[in-house]
A and B are shown apart, each in its own frame.
Chain A
Amino acid sequence: MSEILEINGPILRVKLPGARNGEQVRIGSIGLIGEIIGLEGDDAIVQAYESTESVRPGESVTALGHPLSVELGPGLLGRIFDGVQRPLIDIFKASGDHIGRGLETAALDRSKRWSFTPREDIGPQLHGGETLGDVPETETITQRILVPPDVRGELIELAPAGDYTLDDVIARVRLADGRERQLHLYQRWPVRTPRPYARRDHAVAPLLTGQRILDTFFPLLKGGKGAIPGPFGAGKTMTQHQIARWSNADIVLYVGCGERGNEMVDILESFPELTDPHTGRSLMERTLLVANTSNMPVVAREASIYVGVTMAEFFRDQGFDVVMVADSTSRWAEALREVGGRLGQMPVEEGYPAYLSSRLSAFYERAGRVETLNGERGSVTLIGAVSPPGGDFSEPVTSHTKDIVQTFWALSKELADARHYPAVDWNGSFAKDVQTAAHWWQEHVAKDWLVARGEALGLLAEEQELARIVNLVGPEALAPKQRWALEGAALIKDALLQQNATDPVDSYCSPEKQYALLAAVLRVYRKGQELIDLGEPVTQILTLPGLARLRRAKAAYGDKQLTELNGFVRETLDAMDAMRVEYERSSAT
């Protein structure tokens, strides 16, 4: 006999003998979904994923016998789910504009038929992770139907090619203990348990996002962990949207965790209209979304990132490169704090429970490039936004995250206020795997990539130094060469770092164009240095119209117009040479 004893917001105490920790429950006559998060004798502490309004003590609770799990199979792509993997469209059909409570909705469509083609070279001995066959889900993504990781045995029967629903049996397996197990086109997996793989492998290639400040200056590898901290309005969400749009990943998972409803709508309305620059297909075909917006129940927010990352791992296990962006991990951490507080756990820093840092690192550990159970390579790249209160990076979530990630894209309020976007602060950001990324760039784009990148960053560092002097004694104290260095740094910022996500041409920038712009800026800068060395005044060089046009080149020349871009650069350099000749002539007389 189960019975609710106490209701304290989303946390309930329930008399529920025999229940197990982590088990899913249905609460009260409405049937709210929840999870057992603690046991005290016969009492279970339950967190509800839905509002507990109108629930009363004495109502019953049913334990479902399994932990919070997701359905994995064809039908995930292009959809938007809530924090516990209920499709928002089905919720809409059931309860209209507002989200109803206690709704039963399966994650995957049971009525849809999928075209399944079995693999020929399979069996008779099967092991977890092996591919049974293929189901083309979208034009670009063909899902492999995998043997669930925990299944090993002898294949008794495999369905012939044909159309099947998710409930149809497509294979029967004799397990080691003699029992028979039926396999379907989908499987279930508990979200708090990482899905197994054969072994971890090295990350070898950069994730290319088409954003210059990310790819060229602070690269992240496929299978890496990245974070985007920044105060409100600095551009975390925009940057994550850009990554979701333009990354050279096979699958993109966007988890809106405690953020705005309209930001999810933005994706839902714009992605179907956009094409993936790598495949030419609609972006929505490779994207799936999880949304627990800020007005949805806090407790489901905690679950949402695990729901997201489990789906990411599932695609990784099929050999895909997956990117998951989570906006914002701070809201997830706050959900932990909220539940910890209601359970009376001792807070350590700013109200956060002591296990904050271990939970954070365990989450990010689910990123990585792996050899799958099937012997292939797949990866999950995790990129979390962090929303530090008051923009203070020393707060717990930001500082722990900083210790965990390999790439840290720090957004700055000053840059954002000046509308320098992406407001990634080159002083506060870091990327630990530049050398590995450099191999890729050198092989595919340009031999001197690493040197050029270093030169540009050097100029930005020099500018910072010089700005200090200017602020003490004024610009007149600088030597011409130093003043030109300030101009060079300004050119890097305007012509390279700044990249307007809403510009139709510059929103995505191919690696080749990224390098072309970098090289152009450096060549113009060096040519200017030569002129200065001869004695040409900085103010004179600044009258060159080519400089303003170089600042606009990113939006004036598309990825397919690099010849024109290089032609323009040539003209500018020629103009500088002409200036030099002119100067030499006039100073000779």
Chain B
Amino acid sequence: MKELEFRTASAAQGGLLVMRRVGEIAFGDRVVVRDDKGRRRNGQVIKTSRDAVLVQVFEGTDDLDLNATWVRFLDQPFEMPVSPDLLGRIFNGVGAPRDGRPPLIASHSRNVNGASINPFARAYPREFIQTGISTIDGLNSLVRGQKLPIFSASGLPHNRLAAQIVRQARLLGEETNFAIVFAAMGISHDEARFFEEDFESSGVLGNVSMFINLADDPPIERLILPRTALTVAEYLAFDLDRHVLVVMTDMTYYAEALREVATAKGDVPARKGYPGYLYSDLAEIYERSGRIKQRHGSITLVPILSMPADDITHPIPDLTGYITEGQIVLDRALHNAGVYPPVNVSPSLSRLMKDGIGKDDTRDDHPRVAQQLFALYARAQEVRNLASIIGAEELSGRDRNYLDFAEQFDRRFVQQGEDEDRSIVETLNLAWELLSMFPYEALSRVSEADLNRYHHRAGEVA
């Protein structure tokens, strides 16, 4: 079948266009819509039969004059052209240039939906990435090929943290040069400019491929944007052998766009109006990260999302947490207390940490030090709660020590400068300064050998 153009739109609503009598159109095919003023919009077939074809229009269906709307079926799936020239360029959600420069000259293009990576082809990610941030490196380490989101909320400095990760991320003992894919969905002009300027001032701009859909751009385009961006990331990683760091922000606006379209289609809602397939839809995106056995490159994914009403049980962070390999959780109370980065380590987690740290990767004591800090901090939080009920003066001496520890932990371990790039050894040594506030007996998660080696009172007690 050849490309066909029709003027038989019978209804348009909520970004969906119903076409009548257009013949046998394949599911998932790409569509170009031309409105009465000759402007082009992009679409995709999301339901098809001989009588009617439902098209999702990424630029929306607002002010379409149905009688003057021409719809062309391209007889091919949605694809993104790829070439090494992608780096240093800025695109919109459907992959059209947004930087005023001519379109890419590409010899081939890729289906933006990708295909599932065969689990058999994957290699387990285990190379420690040093971000220079203690709460991440020490307690929630990132490894190459991991998907580790930042759970944030409005007004918290997730962008600054993400930019710091991009600036500082590197592999120990290797001259790494991550290629960056930056996918922005629904963020403000200011936020987008912040990233652009940060990339520019740190000199990586030529190494970044940006996909931008801003707050005032059509929301439905956000549904295809991460797919286009990941198609590029896959090309860089698995065709060009690059290690790719993908930053996506803000997944909440993505999910809201999905809800909008789902509602228009009449899909059965599960929680808070989000469709039941939100989990699988997000998984299609997040699972495109990773490593592949016979490929040199990798895709490390750092999605950012804002938790509506600071609620971590909201479907967007909840389903994300069920798919990703951990999460870095930012906390308003820490932020209000002036702590940057305001990472609350207790609900934060890196599931791939265990295989990327320790003797051969960072330092032998690292896994146990992390467990010990977590356990002490959890206990310290209980003591903080208790102190707020009964008053700090009522606490036992032992408990007061926990309070001190919590304070020091927040001020010295969590808190660090935006340009402060701590090595993992510095982070671990700092951890031992804090652990040394406790006597040996209180530290049962570290080994006796660790105590003898690193505890500041190692010589005195025994």
Contacts and interface: CB of A to CB of B under 8 A. Distances in A.
Chain B contact residues: helix, strand, loop or mixed: mixed
B441 A233 contact: no
Contact of A552 (B120, B367, B379, B447): B447
Interface in A250-279: 256, 258, 260-262, 264-266, 268-269
Interface string B260-271: 000000011111
Contacts of B49: 5-7, 13, 57
Nearest to B145: A262
Interface stretch (B89-97, B168-176, B321-329): B321-329
Interface string B112-153: 011111111111110000000000000000000000000000
A351 B318 contact: no
Interface string A376-405: 000000000001011110000000000000
Contacts of B119: 80, 88, 256, 261, 264-265, 268, 291, 293
Interface string B274-303: 001101100110011010101100000000
A298 B443 CA distance: 46
Given A261-B287, A298-B280, A97 B118 contact: yes
B352 A262 contact: yes
Interface residues of B, number: 81
Contact of B27 (A52, A337, A350): A52
Contacts of A548: 440-441, 443-444
Contacts of A264: 119, 122
B267 to A, nearest CB: 6
B25 A260 contact: no
B363 interface: no
Contacts of A551: 444
Contacts of B396: 475-476
Contact of B118 (A9, A92, A338): A92
B50 interface: yes
B375 A542 contact: no
Given A7-B49, A52-B27, A390 B118 contact: no
A341 B267 contact: yes
Nearest to A101: B115
A252 to B, nearest CB: 17
B351 interface: yes
Nearest to B270: A351
B276 A338 contact: yes
Given A294-B280, A351-B268, A269 B120 contact: no
Interface stretch (A110-118, A151-159, A466-474): A466-474
- Interface size for chain A: under 10, 10 to 19, 20 to 34, or 35 or more residues? 35 or more
Interface string A118-161: 00000000000000000000000000000000000000000000
Interface string A471-501: 1111110000000000000000010000010
A494 B287 contact: no
Contacts of B371: 419, 500
B274 to A, nearest CB: 10
A92 to B, nearest CB: 5
B323 to A, nearest CB: 6
Chain A contact residues: helix, strand, loop or mixed: mixed
A42 interface: no
Interface in A287-327: 291, 293-296, 298
Given A52-B28, A99-B118, A389 B287 contact: no
Specify which of B46, B118, B269 lies most central, judged by the most chain A CB atoms within 10 Å of its CB: B118
Contacts of B26: 53-56
A337 B49 CA distance: 23
A473 B389 CA distance: 8
Contacts of A58: 24, 50
B313 interface: yes
Interface string A1-20: 00001111100010000000
A7 B48 contact: yes
A160 B378 CA distance: 67
B77 A53 contact: yes
A99 B271 contact: no
B418 interface: no
Nearest to B385: A471
Contact of B292 (A89, A97, A101, A387): A97
A50 to B, nearest CB: 10
Contact of B124 (A100, A262, A392, A543): A262
A88 B118 contact: yes
Contacts of B27: 7, 9, 52-56
A7 B48 CA distance: 5
7 contacts: A9-B27, A92-B120, A258-B283, A295-B287, A391-B313, A419-B371, A545-B440
Interface of B: 24-29, 46-50, 77, 111, 113-125, 238, 267-271, 276-277, 279-280, 283-284, 287-288, 290, 292, 294-295, 313-315, 318-319, 321-323, 325-327, 346-347, 349, 351-352, 354, 367, 371, 374-375, 378-379, 385-386, 389-390, 394-396, 399, 440-441, 443-444, 447-448
Nearest first, the 7 closest Cβ-Cβ pairs linking A and B are: A418-B378, A390-B313, A294-B283, A53-B28, A295-B287, A6-B49, A232-B321
Interface of A: 5-9, 13, 51-58, 80, 88-89, 91-92, 95-101, 231-233, 256, 258, 260-262, 264-266, 268-269, 291, 293-296, 298, 331, 334, 337-338, 340-341, 347, 350-351, 387, 389-392, 413, 417-420, 470-476, 494, 500, 502, 542-543, 545, 547-548, 551-552
